[in-house]
Amino acid sequence: MFLDNEEYSKEKSLERCREYWNPSRTDAWINMGIDIMIGKREGYYFWDLDGRKFMNLHLNGGTYNVGHRNPEVIETMIEATKEFDIGNHHFGSVARGYLAEKIVKLSTPGMKYAVFSSCGGAANDVAIKAVRYATKRRKIVTLNKCFHGHTGLAMLAGDEYYTDAFLSSDPENYLHVDMDDVEAMENVLKNEDVAGVLIETIPATYGFPIPAPGYLKKVKELCEKYGTLYIADEVQTGLMRTGKLWGIEWEGVNPDIIVTGKGLSGGMYPFAATIMTKEAGKWVEEFGRGHTDTFGGSEIGCVVAGKVLDIVTRQSTVDNVHWMTEYLKEGLDRVQKMYSDFFTSYTQRGIIFGLRFGVPDGGIAAMQSFYNNGIWAIYARFDTQ
């Protein structure tokens, strides 16, 4: 319909995107020598409209967790359309009840409720609203150079790179501290006026630095000490990518809220979830009509997300992640030794990894080299080295 139609060629499609969609975003990639227009996609590969094949290592905007156009996910979605549609967001439903039970039971101990959204930013909005309702406090603490989404409350929690441009910064209610600085965290919590600490278990847009051993556990202890709720943003690190269903499990932390998205969609139907303890989810017991999302909890999306959970928790998937973890480590170690002046170090947890380079904007240079050799990986927005 589109991909083999000359009317939607790469050149014409790029021109339409410049004219009617997002000219600065389109041209920014072109100016870096990246002119991808994805055509056919299958598994962990896609083909540019000019026929070039790429292995897709882009964690947050492509393969997600089960690859492009996963056959099981597609079949499940098609079957779901025979009985369901988006549904009516005012009511519970068979599909919502099914998925809520499934995801709560698969989450860390103490979880009680799950509320659904159409993207990770919206799910983080729900988390912020939840901790404010539960604690009757307004302040939110996040890490410097963090990213939690482009929607309203989630954007305010992120880096000034995004908030300042839209005149949206709120430094009075959104506080930022450096990762691994326990003293700084305690200093902002000890006044007992912080509703929630919102932390990406591994900060993605900052290049996947791994928190120091014990840091996140200490943050949770401080939250408990000062009456603050802990939100684990697992939008990019969840769903078995680290070798455990939730990355926070490696830290021995039971958060008050887990936020998940991206991969929960199966790459086929937009979906995200906010999973909460009874305390954090107090609003769904007392003021359930206070938040709603027309497309959050789409009944077709619920069925798709349920299939994703089946796939990522089956033993063959777990075994494959563990095997890939070691395979990648061996390869990265070998390449790093060969080019140690340029490729100086890397972080890894499971099949999540971030490379660091010894020159300014080394991440951009590496991305361009990968691109030229048929691999798509992206530089970290907040640390281009």
DSSP secondary structure string for all residues of 97-139 = HHHHHHHHHTSSTTEEEEEEESSHHHHHHHHHHHHHHHHS--E
DSSP secondary structure string for all residues of 10-56 = HHHHHHHIIIII-HHHHHHHHHTT----EEEEEBTEEEETTS-EEEE
Query: Residues of the chain whose pLDDT is less than 50?
Result: none
Q: What is residue 3's predicted lDDT score, i.e. its pLDDT?
A: 87
CB 262 within 8 A of CB 235: yes
Residues 6+ apart with CB under 8 A from 120: 148, 149, 154, 233, 235, 259, 260, 261, 262, 272
Q: What is residue 138's predicted lDDT score, i.e. its pLDDT?
A: 98
The enclosing H or E element of 316 equals helix 315-338
The encoded tokens of residue 248 equal 């926070």
Question: What is the rounded CA–CA span in Å between residue 161 and residue 327?
Answer: 36
Question: What is the rounded CA–CA span in Å between residue 197 and residue 199?
Answer: 6
Question: What is the rounded CA–CA span in Å between residue 357 and residue 221?
Answer: 35
Summarize pLDDT for 244-291 with one digit per residue, the tens: 999 999 999 999 999 999 999 999 999 999 999 999 999 999 999 999
Q: What is residue 1's predicted lDDT score, i.e. its pLDDT?
A: 81
Q: What is residue 107's predicted lDDT score, i.e. its pLDDT?
A: 98
Q: Which residue has the tokens 């990639």?
A: 29
Q: What is residue 385's predicted lDDT score, i.e. its pLDDT?
A: 87
Give the amino acid at 26.
T
Question: What is the rounded CA–CA span in Å between residue 278 and residue 85?
Answer: 30
